[in-house]
Structure 1
């Protein structure tokens, strides 16, 4: 491997001499004005990242803010289902995508709203997926939003990296579950955010416990909660726990996630408001 300070064979500068900007941030279209952009991330799939995105967006909309969700989980899109959005996205005369609006006012863009068959698999390579995410930011008529939530793809690969570099993310919320394996992988997502100088707003442990409907006792179905220890180890000062709640499943199946009005995420919502 060549020394970084040595002369490259095809250029006259050393790496330390280069003055080019390393800023890869992209700009939204002229009709769009976005206040804060919040990423919702996880180290692996299946922990409820889209659920947390939907709950946070609904909580902020309930407070009177103008909210949008960019579903960046291109190969596993689920946000439209949470909000009961079935109509397809359309374009305007300028060629921008007009995002459908859910009953609670949240604007949503997702690849499922563009496919003729919402059950068709998205079999695209990483660079194509990354470009679609950037198009969802640049070529959507978001208009004026106070908050745009980005439902990130799981992991720490090419697409999350592209999002962190391309979108002016103001902070992230990390989603985990009680499993030791998931907690370990979540640390990778946290470390990636730290390396990219992205602020960590808080962490959410989904499926944290099941409350007995008779006695109210909390039962650790998937193991003892790890969120307090993980948050302390990673210097995350705000965290929340989401129980296994049949009402959430029923609301999701009905496309009415905004009917859930519990205070599970209020501490994180408060931090988002003061960013």
Structure 2
């Protein structure tokens, strides 16, 4: 019987399955353990259980453990728009919550460096991220979504006066943070096609992109530019979302279309891209966003609109093989 089998036979099956190699020599048990996919607390607990199982075992006087982890490739979905004010951040937050409710372990990177809004949308308690060995640790929101934003790092109301290289550094810090067992990252990009978008595409190459527009012509023109940037970078476009599509009067129930209707769906057809769905112009969405209570966390009609888009994104991920 090899020394590796001698050691593994003294371990519970759950721990033994994580052993990459084991050696017993002159009473010293040396093990290399597979910590791939484990958050730091889970890896520490695994090591503690291992030591507890071996210390004092027959023939073992000392236990040495090395924890190794293969780099986890998390799918990255960029959420972008050609212009500001189209509800991109609100969509990102609610899409993340909907995907979390569907069983995904989701993280959100607020890459809108100069106009961070995800702390308001997902983390109204105003947590501050901690760091370990100069690596940021993502904040846990109450909706099962992890989050990092420059909004966590500055005082409310303070301007972020950073030049391009500093914004790229902030994005890199957030992307390379400790995301624990997160298996999918959504990136809330700033509007337009500037430095942050280029840094994201060049350094972290998203697996796919969702583009947000309102129905009006000007917004659609800008959305087409955003899609063109993703195409040039060979980032697959998951689809186009039409936001602020239709307003129901709370008094008479009449539907009006202050921004037009159907423009994004028509544009998706013309551009041969998938149309993911519409989000209504609704007071409930505005109020829930301002109070950090995303409607996707419940089962309201507006929440279901976000859930419908999340299902299509989930189908895209499964077809791509990014989630079982």
Bin of the TM-score, shorter chain as denominator length: 0.7 to 0.9
Show the counterpart of 1:23: none
**Equivalences for 1:62-101 in 2 at 5 Å?**
62-83=101-122, 84-92=124-132, 94-101=133-140
Structure 1 contact 227–239 (Cα < 8 Å) conserved:
no
More helix by share: 2
Q: CA deviation at 1:237?
A: 2.0
Q: Does the 8 Å contact 1:32/1:144 carry over to 2?
A: no
Shift of 1:268: 3.3
Cα distance, 1:271 vs. partner?
A: 3.3
Q: Indicate if the aligned counterparts of 2:77 and 2:209 stay in contact, CA closer than 8 A.
A: yes
- Aligned pair partner of 2:99 in 60, 67, 70: 60
Larger Rg computed on CA atoms? 2
Q: CA RMSD in A?
A: 1.9
SS in 2 for 1:190: helix
Matched, 1:147 2:184: yes
CA contact (8 A) 1:31 1:143 kept: no
How far does the alpha carbon of each residue in 1:205-250 deviate from its partner, in whole angstroms, 9 at most, with x for none? Answer: 1111102345644210122331111111111123211111111122
Cα distance in 2 for partners of 1:250, 1:170 equals 32
Partner residue, 2:153:
114
Q: Does the 8 A contact of 1:231 with 1:239 survive in 2?
A: no
- 2:161 is matched with 123
Q: Could you tell me the TM-score, scaled by structure 2's length? A: 0.71
Match of 1:203 in 2: 240
- Consecutive unaligned residues of structure 2, counting only runs of 5 or more, are 1-68
CA distance in 2, matches of 1:156, 1:31: 33
The question of 1:263 aligning with 2:301 is answered no
Q: Give 1:46 deviation, angstroms.
A: 1.1
For these two proteins, the number of residue pairs brought into alignment is 244
Q: Give me the whole-angstrom Cα distance separating, in 1, the residues matched to 2:120 and 2:127.
A: 11
Q: Distance in 2 between matches of 1:271 and 1:228?
A: 15
In structure 2, distance between residues paired with 1:267 and 1:235: 20
Provide the C-alpha distance between the structure 1 equivalents of 2:101 and 2:308, rounded to a whole number of angstroms: 15
- How far the C-alpha of 1:85 sits from its partner, in A, is 3.8
Contact 1:171 1:199 in 2 (8 A): yes
Once the two structures are superposed, residues 163-216 of structure 1 have per-residue CA deviations (whole angstroms, 9 ceiling, x without a partner) of 011113110100001221111111000111111111111111111110234564
Following superposition of structure 1 onto structure 2, how do residues 169-248 of structure 1 map, counting pairs within 5 Å? 169-213=206-250, 216-248=253-285
Of structures 1 and 2, the one scoring higher in RCO (CA 8 A, sep 6+) is 1
Deviations 1:58-101 (A, max 9, x none): 00111121110000000000001011241211112x22111211
CA contact (8 A) 1:34 1:148 kept: no
* CA distance in 2 between partners of 1:122 and 1:199 (Å): 31
Provide the rounded CA distance (Å) in 1 between the counterparts of 2:221 and 2:130: 41
Tell me if the contact between 1:100 and 1:108 (Cα under 8 Å) persists in the aligned partners: yes
Q: Per the alignment, do residues 52 and 32 of structure 1 end up closer, same or farther by CA in structure 2, a change over 3 Å counting?
A: farther
Tell me the equivalent position of 1:35: 74
TM-score by length of structure 1 reads 0.83
Greater CA drift, 174-183 or 263-272? 263-272
CA 1:136 to 1:32, structure 2 compared with 1: closer, same or farther past 3 Å?
farther
> Does structure 1 conserve the Cα–Cα contact (< 8 Å) formed by 2:205 and 2:235?
no
Say which SS state the counterpart of residue 265 (structure 1) adopts. helix
